[in-house]
Amino acid sequence: MRLNVASFTEDRTMCERIARMQHYRLPTRFADLSVNALLPTLFACGGCSDKPGGWPDDDGFIKVFKVAKHKMKSFTSDIIVAISHLPLVDNDKINPVSKRDVGYLVYETKNERPAFYRKEDDDWLHEELCNQLGQVWAFKPLMNNPRIRNQGGLFLAFGCRDGKEPLRPTFSLADYDNPTAPSFGIAQVGFVRIAAKANRPSSTNSACSA
């Protein structure tokens, strides 16, 4: 962001900034999804490869997910806003099961959204937010840049464990119905492998177009 400030001038929230950071291939707690099956097929076939000619050396993969209605959020929901602010909290000051430690996250989040937490919300803070931070959530982002609009973009937002350790969700059908699993309500239901050799045209003079 420091080296490319102009690209982020229209972003008003941490969620918007992190969504845009995906475009620059920076590490974030968000993962891209699309509701348009043609777009992941394009990527899997190497249509957006940086290699000369556009044809990848590695196999491509397409994963299909199902998301329960209660796990689909808006970019304005409390849990998505909270996860967006995790990068602002030191690793040794975040423990999703500790009300004191979650207070650091609440402080950073309130700088953007003052009404995020009130004194009378103590039960919500410990019972809901702490539990929700230990899960993966899907959300619909603000369609504020052409890339997200063109991709029919959705995101998965990953919470954390103690010290911001990764969740390591399985996305298995068994965990889909398990409320204690990080991937509760989200499961991989399809997988397609596209061999790299199958993507290449028969003629070496053919050009890649996308």
Residue 153 pairs in a beta bridge with 34
Per-residue pLDDT, averaged over 93-107, amounts to 74
Question: Would you state the pLDDT for residue 179?
Answer: 93
Residue 130 · residue 99 · CB < 8 Å? yes
Quote the CA–CA distance of 111 and 104 in Å, as a whole number.
11
Residue percentage of the chain with pLDDT more than 70:
75
In this model, does residue 3 exceed pLDDT 80? no
Over residues 175-192, mean pLDDT:
95
| Contact between 125 and 106 (Cβ < 8 Å) | yes
Nearest one of 83, 124, 128, 127 to 105, comparing CA atoms:
83
Residue 91 tokens read as 């690793």
Cβ count within 10 A of residue 205: 5
Q: Is the pLDDT of residue 10 over 90?
A: no
Tokens of 143: 């369609």
Give me the pLDDT at residue 153, please. 77
> Which stretch of 31-40, 44-53, 82-91, 167-176 has the lowest confidence by average pLDDT?
44-53
11-58 pLDDT, tens digit per residue, is 888 888 888 887 777 889 999 888 888 888 887 777 655 555 555 567
Q: Where are the alpha helices (DSSP H) in 155-205?
A: 173-176, 196-199
61, containing H or E segment: strand 60-67
Under 8 Å between Cβ of 141 and 164:
no
CA-to-CA separations, 193 to 44, 47, 60, 61, 170, in angstroms, rounded? 8, 15, 6, 5, 19
| 74 pLDDT higher than 50 | yes
Question: Under 8 Å CB-to-CB from 17, ≥6 apart: which residues?
Answer: 1, 8, 11
* pLDDT tens per residue across span 108-156: 898 888 888 766 667 667 678 888 989 999 998 887 667 767 777 789 9
* Higher-confidence position of 154 and 208: 154
- pLDDT, residue 51, reads 54
Residues 182-194 as b or e (16 or more Cβ within 10 Å = b)? bbbbbbbeeeeeb
